[in-house]
Amino acid sequence: MEGAALDRLPTKSALIKRNISVGSGLCGFCNDATESVDHLFTACLTVHRVWSRFSAWVNFHPFFAFSFRDILEMHKSLAGNNTQKR
């Protein structure tokens, strides 16, 4: 996840910043917004459905994040010791 936190994932917006042609910069899942780390992990409705189903599968309460950094910081609010949080 470190690559995502540093905006190093090859999203369309990151590739465009590096002058790499990717066609439209729109998200490949929803085609509604520019594909960025924040969009893919928090705003894309298609991916949101995957997160919801994943949460139900692992018996974890649904969560809402406004940015990828919110997801990375979420573990700090969970119960348990440091090993469990990792």
pLDDT of amino acid 20: 94
Tell whether the model's pLDDT for residue 1 goes beyond 60: no
Round to whole Å and give the CA distance between 82 and 20. Answer: 40
Model pTM?
0.68
Q: According to the model, what pLDDT value does residue 72 have?
A: 76
Average pLDDT over residues 27-40: 94
- pLDDT value of position 84: 61
Rounded to an integer, what distance in angstroms lies between the CA atom of residue 56 and that of residue 10? 28
